[in-house]
Amino acid sequence: MRPALTLAWHELRRTWRTPSFYFTAALFLFYQGIVLAVTVALRQHPLSPPGPLLAPFFGGPFWFWPLLILVVVELSHDAISRERAHGTLDALRASPLPPVGIALGKYLAMLATWSLLWAATLPPLAFLWVVLPADVAVPAGPVLTGYAGVLLVGGAGLALGLFFSSLTADTRLSAMLTFVVLFAFVLVKIMTSPAFGIVRDPAWVSRLDAFNLFDVLERFSRGFVHLRDLALLGLLVVGGVAGAGRVLGAGLRRPSRWAMADLAAWTLLAGFFLATALRLGWSWDVTDRPGLDPRLERRISELGVPVTLYLFTGSPAAATPFSPMPELELHLDRVCRTSPRLRWERVHATSAGERAGKLATRFGLQLSAMEADSTGLLEGRLVAATEQRHQVIRLSDLFVMDVREDGVVFHGVALQSALARTLAHLQRPDEHAWCFTRGHQERLVSDTRGAGLSRLAAGLQFAGITVRELDLLSPVPVSCRLVFAADPRTELLPAEEEHLAAALREGRAGLVLSSHGRHDLPASWASLARDCRLGFTGALVEDPGGALRENEPGRFVVTWPGKNARLVLHRPAAVTAGPGVEVLLATSERARPVDRDTGRPGGGGAIPLAARSGPDCAARMLLFGFSDAYANDHLAPGGQSQDATAGWLMTQLRWVAGQPADEPMEVFGMEHHKLVLPQGQVNRLQTFALLLWPLFALAVGLWVARRRRT
């Protein structure tokens, strides 16, 4: 080992005395200064991406990679090619060093030089740390793993460059081979990206992702160290150095008749090692994220059938730097590693192939709406599915976020509670059906006026809810936990009224009444609602304060209390809410009731639009003044969703059905940095990182060049 270290020190001294090294260092530092400036700009953007503060500095966008690869090529392309071209290779091979020792010494010298270049980026980071506000904490873990990632990825590239350099005396050919191979590892990101759809088979995408250096470095930058990443980089380093040593040793002794067998054996061993690392899926998180809740782990351990989590999203590539989706994917990885029966798959709307279309049809999703969603969150869905059943989770319900005037701040991922409820639903048959009726002689299928109700029933079925049509001439079945009547127009027969009232009085079922306000609620239905101090006023509602467009007060938005979401309504019916009733939705103070017959507006003020029974009512009852509530979210021309009615309705229907509330589980925290730096400090940081520090390296190079001439 000592002769190899001596050779490495000799190579280092030769490199440091070469002016080209300092010119390369100046270019490298200038480029990294640009990356640091972009990182600071991202952190000052209103949509600052979630994750560690310096994560973009180590992973960066795609254009982060070309110069990084060029520097690796510059350091490695002539490591042995130069010896061949100058005729000094034979002298090296005649030294006491074995061929593998020569390759190891060369590699250690290049790795030390590469490490020195990255060590030179510490002063700009120290400058940034000095100008950061006192309340901004920079955890050391992701910074250390970020540096470890760039050193390991660069070290793997140097090993490959060393191998190609040993094959030829042509330094240009060696450089070209090294660049092409390293860039191919990065191009795997494009090949597997759903936005391009080059490789769509999930099995092949999963295999190729193991060789995706782009995502490898991103995981390191976020504080995650995966065994499969270490295995891949370690195999590249060992393979490159050992291969170079093998080439250098050719001709020094008679070739062994088992040389090919040895090579095949080592290749099989390396493949087995990498496959084992991929299967184990071990990882280390240096950010001290909390572990999984024991209740969720119990749900996962009780899985009797395989469950696949399909992540449907349609955010464009331009939104990727600002998206919290990578954080969700990291946590999905964590959850799925706990059981071989649980796996997840990404389905992108922009590459809607045949398989994606079949999955969307199976789950009742609209890929076109997802593709139009510029955020990727409002129309995105996470679907948990077995072969027979499935449940749909809205991505907007998974992220804990705060919408401010200057942008959106993401605080965490509420994945555990949602998964626990979903897995529990998939594990057992749904014994609590949601039943639909429109009253005597009004049937769900035959009556064309029930089109909105039919869409609602179909939407619930797509979401995995058991739906059936109810005939109230017979007693309400025990399995029917919810009775839904959308805009009933005929009176209940005495037997129907008695059967429904008995189910409500005994708490066996809840009642949901909706109306679009174009006619009065029949007296028999109104008496059921009146028992819980609920009803409809008979007027429509306009709200200039929430109008989507000027001079169109009939179409307005209502905020979902406690949520960063809106419901888009069109002239809903006003609801009456007596004492003890819980009002769920209300208009702004500028709203006014409008007589549906004359069109005359009444007095202004906040008007209830949805309410549910209070604790003093024996029945669980919900009234809301709009019918078509389960239509897919409507998108604005810019791709933002205007409507969250479906999510609101599902939440309320679960309450009426008496389903237990979600078990509160800890939210996966999400690190979010929104810097507010004075422009003067930003200018000084950019001047140092982009000008002064690279110029210092350039000045050292000029000084070395002058000394060489003298």
What gap in Å lies between CA 284 and CA 223, rounded to an integer?
8
Q: So what's the pLDDT on residue 235? A: 86
Q: So what's the pLDDT on residue 322? A: 62
Asked if residue 281 lies in contact with residue 337, where contact means CB atoms within 8 angstroms, the answer is: yes
The H or E element containing residue 308 is strand 307-313
Query: Does the pLDDT at position 631 exceed 50?
Result: no
Residue of 62, 108, 102, 111 lying closest to 84 (CA atoms): 102
Q: Which two three-digit tokens encode residue 217?
A: 């470095």
pLDDT in tens, 237-278: 988 888 888 888 775 554 444 455 555 656 666 666 666 655
Q: Which residue segments constitute the domains of the chain, with CATH numbers given?
A: 2-287+672-709 (no CATH), 294-427 (3.40.30), 436-656 (3.40.50)
What gap in Å lies between CA 102 and CA 175, rounded to an integer?
20
Mean pLDDT of the chain: 79
**Pairing assessment for the beta strands 510-514 and 621-624 based on DSSP bridges:** parallel
pTM of the predicted model, to two decimals?
0.67
What gap in Å lies between CA 513 and CA 484, rounded to an integer?
6
Helices (H) and strands (E) counted in the chain, each on its own, are: 26, 21
Q: Which two three-digit tokens encode residue 207?
A: 């295999």
* Percentage of the chain exceeding pLDDT 70: 79
Task: Estimate the crossing angle of helix 213-221 against helix 140-167, to 10 degrees.
Answer: 150
* Percentage of the chain exceeding pLDDT 90: 12
What gap in Å lies between CA 376 and CA 378, rounded to an integer?
6
Asked if residue 418 lies in contact with residue 662, where contact means CB atoms within 8 angstroms, the answer is: yes
CA distances from 709 to 11, 17, 19, 511, 703 (A): 21, 12, 11, 93, 10
What gap in Å lies between CA 444 and CA 441, rounded to an integer?
10
The strand order across the sheet containing 390-394 reads: 342-348, 307-313, 381-385, 390-394
Residues 6+ apart with CB under 8 A from 256: 262
pLDDT in tens, 358-387: 888 888 787 877 877 766 777 788 999 888
Q: So what's the pLDDT on residue 169? A: 82
More confident site: 696 or 470: 696
The rounded Cα 266 to chain-centroid distance in angstroms is 38
Q: So what's the pLDDT on residue 395? A: 83
What gap in Å lies between CA 217 and CA 241, rounded to an integer?
22
How large is the average pLDDT for residues 75-91?
77
Residues 6+ apart with CB under 8 A from 120: 25, 28, 29, 693, 697
Determine the 3-state secondary structure of 570 from DSSP.
strand
> What are the strands, taking DSSP E only, across 414-460?
433-436
The rounded Cα 230 to chain-centroid distance in angstroms is 23
What gap in Å lies between CA 309 and CA 382, rounded to an integer?
7
pLDDT in tens, 182-231: 888 888 877 776 656 677 666 677 777 777 888 888 888 888 888 888 88
Determine the 3-state secondary structure of 252 from DSSP.
coil
β-pair partners for 409: 402
Task: Estimate the crossing angle of helix 171-192 against helix 65-76, to 10 degrees.
Answer: 150
Which residue bears the tokens 């995408």? 205
Q: Which two three-digit tokens encode residue 317?
A: 């590539």
pLDDT in tens, 412-449: 888 888 888 888 777 765 445 677 775 444 433 333 33
Query: Does the pLDDT at position 630 exceed 70?
Result: no
What gap in Å lies between CA 484 and CA 221, rounded to an integer?
51
- Amino acid at site 385: A
Q: Which two three-digit tokens encode residue 139?
A: 């955890």
Asked if residue 633 lies in contact with residue 369, where contact means CB atoms within 8 angstroms, the answer is: yes
Query: Does the pLDDT at position 116 exceed 90?
Result: yes
Winning range, highest mean pLDDT, from 60-69, 153-162, 399-408, 477-486: 153-162
